[in-house]
Structure formats: structure tokens, C-alpha cells
Amino acid sequence: MAKTKILVVEDEDDIRELLEYNLLKAGYEVTAVTSGEEALRRLDSTAFDAILLDLMLPGLDGFDVCRKLKYDPDSSSVPIIILTAKNEDTDIVAGLELGADDYIVKPFSPNVLVARIRAVLRRKKEHAEDDESSLIIHDLSIDPRRYSVTHCGQPIELSSTEFRLLHLLARKPGWVFSRDQIVTALHGDDYPVTDRSIDVQIVGLRKKLGEAGEYIQTVRGVGYRFKE
């Protein structure tokens, strides 16, 4: 059986070597690069199962790399775990809005890091096993296989996280999801953000959906639902 391939994007030598050592020890196949530009070149030629991405990189920073990958249909489904010394809420929310699947702050425990990678890969597998048929509701068409959304035939560009949030709500119109339930469904338990970050993502999603944004309804004191 082929090993799970992890791409590590980290410019600090000691941290990169620590990551390589622990990931190899955990049984993963590891490719390590030192810049965002090199990461994108590797991704053009190799399919990776997950990416560990530092934010503070020379040249193209981690935010730009994440943005490019999550808005590209060919790479949008690859889980990205941001690994950084930046621990402000604004940085965490920014990473989430771009579609990051997890966020780990330096310094970190290698054992916890490996556990978080396993959790992200498990969620990816579970998501792939879900119903992946296209969904047409109201005047929206949602295709999970291509991570594409159209409104009245016009394409709407969403990040990976925004797409999964829309798909989660639209699959069960009228069903009310609490903020905690949404965080857990998108990122799993123990995700390092407050549930209020969902409010920020909902605002951004509604804006991108335009007129169709009204289909996402707020249930005061509870959470959100998709219009029946």
C-alpha cells in the first residue's frame, strides 16, 4: 500500500528537520521545501495527501499559497494544516477563511501534530465517502466532486471551507445547525478557534452568493439553516 504523502513548507531548518523526522517516524512519505514558490512547483507535478504550511515564508507567504491552492479545483480538496508562530485571532480567522483545515501554533508537540494530521486525513476520507452527487436547490447548483457552485448558471468562486459550509447547510434545508455543530462538521473536535468565527465565514459566504445569500438564514440564539 502506498504511503500517505505529506508536503512540508517551512523555511526554518531546525523546525523543518524536526517535522521530517517525526513524520517519517510516523510512517508518512515526506517532501520538504523552503518556499511557497517551490511548494507550488512540487504540487504541479506530485499529488500530496496533506500539506503542512508555515505562514511566514520568504517571497510568497503561506496565506498566498493557501489562497492559490484552495481556489484551484485541482488542489482545493487537499487538506492544509497551517503551522506558525502567528497566534492572533485575526491570523486564525484569515487562515480559516482561505480554507485551512487546521491551525497549529509553534512551539508544538510532535505527538499532537501527528495526531492532528491523522484527524485531518480521517475527515477527508469520511467526507469522500459521503454522498458526492450534485445538489440542485432553488437556483443553486452544487457539485461536491468539482467543488463548484453556480447561481442561475453563473459560477461562484468559493474557498474550500466556504464550499463545505454551503454544502453542509444545503444538504439539509430547514435543519438548524448550531455554531458548534458547524465547527465540528467542518474541522472536527478541538479545533483551535471560537465558534464565533463561523459568523465571519457566514458573512463572507453570503456576500459571495449575492442574491442567493438570503437562502442562508440566521436562527437567533442557535445558529444557521438553509431555506427550505
Q: What is the DSSP letter of 98?
A: T
Q: How far apart are CA 169 and CA 202, in angstroms?
A: 11
Beta bridge partners of 224: 177, 218
Could you give the number of structural domains in the chain?
2
Amino acid letter for position 19: L
Average pLDDT (85-113) is: 78
Q: How far apart are CA 69 and CA 44, in angstroms?
A: 11
Tell me which of 140 and 124 has the higher pLDDT: 140
Q: Which of 63-77, 97-111, 112-126, 177-191 has the lowest mean pLDDT?
A: 177-191
Same domain, 117 and 218: no
Q: Give the H or E element holding residue 52.
A: strand 50-53
State pLDDT tens for residues 50-97.
Answer: 999 998 898 899 889 998 888 777 787 889 998 877 666 677 677 777
Same domain, 14 and 62: yes
Same domain, 103 and 56: yes
In this prediction, residue 68 carries a pLDDT of 87
Q: Dihedrals φ, ψ of 14, to 5°?
A: -65, -40
Going by pLDDT thresholds of 50, 70 and 90, the confidence category of residue 98 is confident
